[in-house]
């Protein structure tokens, strides 16, 4: 039986919804074969019964491709589309309202609700003039749409705040208050190879999110 498989090769081909689905499975199982089959099922949009028909050597090749994809270190993604709607990264972070600031501080460290933090950072674009744009006002309850946003935007915004925290560390010492998180993410960013692929990526990401806080104190 021949299958046509679309294998993603970059994080912009993976959605936040897909990654959260896989993350839940990874948290509940340590069976490498099971996780490999589910990774291919979820990220390649296959049915599990079809994954089971693949040759073992092919699943290993696909798994390696997907793992390499998760080694990327994306630059800040400022714009992306979900369907026909275009979203833009908040162009004026200095103008965040208190409510936006609190929601960002609360949910950027909560992987189960990370889309709520993304709802603060990424909004529908209302108007564009050359490289500038205006975005829709913050609206709680619209974050469900962002589950279909690309993972490169999610990751790049997390790295953006991590780097921003380093730059502001002299004046905002509580911005990154977890030494363990900082060391883990530094090791991940500086690594040339990532032998454990997506497993190590997930560990670094979870530690990042658990420790990343934008404190008002």
Instruction: Count CA atoms closer than 13 A to 172's CA, side-chain side.
Output: 16
Residue 208 counted as domain residue: no
> Among 160, 161, 205, 169, which Cα is nearest to 184's?
205
What confidence score (pLDDT) does residue 167 get? 53
Q: What pLDDT digit, counting tens, does each position of 111-120 carry?
A: 899 999 999 9
Q: Is residue 92 within 8 Å of residue 109, measured between CB atoms?
A: no
d(CA 68, CA 71): 5
Residue 25 counted as domain residue: yes
Residue 26 counted as domain residue: yes
Residue 37 counted as domain residue: yes
Min mean pLDDT across 6-10, 17-21, 133-137, 173-177 is at: 173-177
Residue 20 counted as domain residue: yes
Torsions phi, psi for 129 (to 5 deg): -135, 105
Q: What pLDDT digit, counting tens, does each position of 81-96 carry?
A: 999 999 999 999 888 8
Total domains in the chain come to 1
> Among 192, 100, 198, 106, which Cα is nearest to 155's?
198
d(CA 207, CA 111): 10
Domain range for 38 is 11-69
Residue 56 counted as domain residue: yes
Residue 2 counted as domain residue: no
Which segments of the chain are extended strands (E)? 79-82, 85-89, 122-129, 132-135
Residue 17 counted as domain residue: yes
């Amino acid at each position: 039986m021949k299958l046509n498989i679309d294998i993603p090769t970059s994080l912009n081909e993976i959605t936040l919804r897909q990654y959260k689905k896989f993350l839940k499975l990874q948290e509940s199982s340590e069976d490498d074969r099971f996780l490999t089959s589910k990774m291919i099922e979820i990220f390649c949009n296959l049915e599990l019964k079809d994954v089971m028909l693949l040759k073992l050597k092919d699943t290993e090749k696909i798994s390696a491709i997907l793992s390499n994809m998760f080694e990327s270190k994306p630059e800040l993604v400022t714009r992306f589309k979900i369907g026909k709607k275009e979203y833009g990264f908040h162009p004026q972070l200095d103008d965040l309202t208190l409510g936006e600031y609190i929601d960002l501080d609360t949910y950027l460290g909560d992987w189960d609700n990370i889309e709520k933090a993304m709802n603060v950072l990424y909004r529908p674009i209302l108007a564009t003039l050359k490289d500038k744009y205006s975005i829709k006002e913050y609206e709680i309850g619209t974050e469900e749409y962002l589950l279909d946003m690309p993972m490169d935007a999610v990751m790049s915004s997390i790295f953006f705040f991590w780097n921003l925290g380093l730059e502001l560390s002299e004046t905002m010492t509580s911005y990154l208050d977890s030494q363990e998180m900082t060391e883990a993410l530094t090791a991940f960013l500086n690594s040339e190879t990532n032998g454990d692929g997506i497993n190590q990526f997930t560990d670094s990401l979870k530690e990042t999110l658990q420790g990343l806080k934008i404190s008002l104190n």
